[in-house]
Amino acid sequence: MREIITAASAAGVAVAFGSPIGGVLFSIEEMSHTFSIKTMWRSFFCALMATFTLAAMNPFRTGKLVLFQVTYDRDWHFFEIFFFIILGIFGGLYGAFVVKFNLQVAAFRRKHLANHGVAEAVTLAVITAMIGYFNRFLRLDMTSSMAILFRECEGGGNVNNLCQSEAQWRIANSLLLATIIRIGLVVISYGCKVPAGIFVPSMAIGATFGRMVGIMVKAMYTAYPTSGMFKFCAPDVPCITPGTYAFLGAAAALSGVMRITVTVVVIMFELTGALTYILPTMIVLLVTKAVGDFLGTNGIADEMIRFNGFPFLEKEDHAYNVTVASVMKKELHTLTETGMSVRDMETILSNTDVRGFPIVSGDGALTLVGYIERSELRYVIDLSRGPGLEGDEERYFAPTTAGELQFTPWVNKTPMTAAPELPLEIIMQIFKRMGVILVEERGVLCGLVTVKDVLRYIATEKPGHRPSWDERGGLDGLLEEVWTWGSDVKARIVSWGLRVLRSRPSKMTLVQHHGPTHKYSQELAQYTLRQFSMANAVLDDSKKTKLAKLPGVYSRVLTAESLTSVPPSRNDHTPKRHGRFN
């Protein structure tokens, strides 16, 4: 099933963007846990057949696989890297914003709109139509809009006065408004009961923002063509191509919301066929990834998996220095090998919702015998109600006794087991291929571990967890960290300067000069010493205030050994006396 879904995702991305290799890379980067050559070849075959079928159908009657496929014949300049970085920053911020607020909308939808799917879809459609009608870029279909925004002005791209210099600021304002409105519509629409995705809307948002940046850069070049930044432009060739900024902005937005990099680079290359724009695309996506990592953003698909509670372990989920015993369940629903009736089985099935049951020996020693799936147990019970056995609820299950029902043929007698002292990291690697692991010690069943148990442990204990942007306090937390760091550096500089001045007084007092210059130098030196002494006193008072909050014994020891000690001079080579808490 995993291989089929992986191959199907490759085919879907391939026909959506006319990018068969990008589809294969998407199936590897986003869908599969482990890299498998067999799965890669199957994904490649599916993507190839899907792309070939689409090309044979020629849906747009233009020979292009997608409507917004474009070709660029001009190169980029190194001074444009600064503006490419701006696009990358926008992609990272866009992804963090959409993921955060879309999850809040999803929680509201689950709580209040779960039973009103049709009404929600109709309301969103009406709101989108009413708002989008008054903007020329929202009024168009998103794929048609991207096809216009990606084009060069010299290649028939002057649609809706997009390339007219006299209308450039009006167009830029319209593009900015379209970007903001579409971001809001994506936040409230993604996740509703409509088969709508996130790929094309995100690319359309990035395209409008990128085209706006491109128009602004082109306006700067038109106003100041001889400035130092534009001196590398050839006089007879257009220097700035706004369509490339739309193209790179689309890549940044898609990467920011999905948190994929290599796939987007290849998709954009296959859309344009331009080798020269691979490096700008990589620069933009690396900046987008850096911003997303700094803000602690995960892909929107991963967050939706966690939001819906699906037992799914990410490649980045780890739990080091933890044993299986600290995570496993110890209170289990077990079946005994002998002595259980059909009524007992049905009672257990009706009172539990687990996927399967460990089978232990009937002598009370809890010796592990095997494992049976819930579906298999239900099948055995249905067999017990076959012709001639109706109403026989007291018939017992037994593995060997003749004349009684048996469920041994459906029991897994060699289930995957682990010792309690086994590292949890190994179990997590096994879980990427299996679902349930029994824990036994010297043949005795002592617990059970599932993917949900591991995810619950990671969510509560957070081993090796790096705090996200919100957990660090957002902007206020960042400013507080910077202020604390600056205060610490300032204190160190003041303390170092005071030690230097105390250890070298002769160079300030023994200089034999006369006149006003000598007097001014002495006054300046004395003033500097007074300033350093005052700063040192403030630091000492701060230390004493912090020590007052400690227990008495620690405060007395630290006060006697730290605060009363005099910093040694530079010429003092005697070993430093270390206290208990130095």
Closest CA to 268 of 260, 278, 256: 278
Taking CA atoms, 486 is separated from 121, 349, 475, 542, in Å, by: 52, 63, 16, 16
Mean pLDDT comparison of 224-228, 347-351, 360-364, highest-scoring range = 347-351
**If pLDDT is split at 50, 70 and 90, which confidence band does 559 have?**
very low
User: Mean per-residue pLDDT for 270-285?
Assistant: 86
In tens, the pLDDT along 567-579 reads 444 444 444 444 4
C-alpha angle 514-520-522 in degrees, rounded to nearest 5: 80
Residue 239 has pLDDT above 50, yes or no: yes
Higher pLDDT, 373 or 382: 373
Span 578-582, mean pLDDT? 40
Residue 169 carries which DSSP code? H
Query: Do 371 and 359 contact (CB within 8 A), yes or no?
Result: yes
Share of the chain above pLDDT 70, in %: 72
Percent of the chain with pLDDT over 90: 25
* Position 250 confidence tier, pLDDT thresholds 50, 70, 90: very high
| Residue 514 reports pLDDT greater than 50 | no
- pLDDT score at 86: 95
81-96: pLDDT as tens digits: 999 999 999 999 999 9
Q: Which helix (H) or strand (E) holds 287?
A: helix 278-295
- Would you place residue 564 in the very low, low, confident or very high pLDDT band (cuts 50, 70, 90)? very low
Q: What is the pLDDT of residues 157-197, one digit of tens each?
A: 667 777 777 788 899 999 999 999 999 999 999 989 888 88
The mean of the pLDDT values for the chain is 78
- The reported pLDDT for the residue numbered 483 is 62
pLDDT 10s digits, 434-448: 778 888 887 888 888
What are the strands, taking DSSP E only, across 470-529? Answer: none
**Sequence-separated contacts (24+) of 550-555 with Cβ below 8 Å:** 554/581
Burial degree of 403 (CB within 10 A; 0-12, 13-18, 19+): exposed
Looking at residue 108, its pLDDT comes to 93
pLDDT (average), residues 487-514: 57
Binning pLDDT at 50, 70 and 90, where does residue 288 land? very high
Q: What share of the chain is helix, strand, coil (3-state, %, to 5)?
A: 60, 5, 35
pLDDT tens for each residue of 132-156: 998 889 988 888 888 888 888 776 6
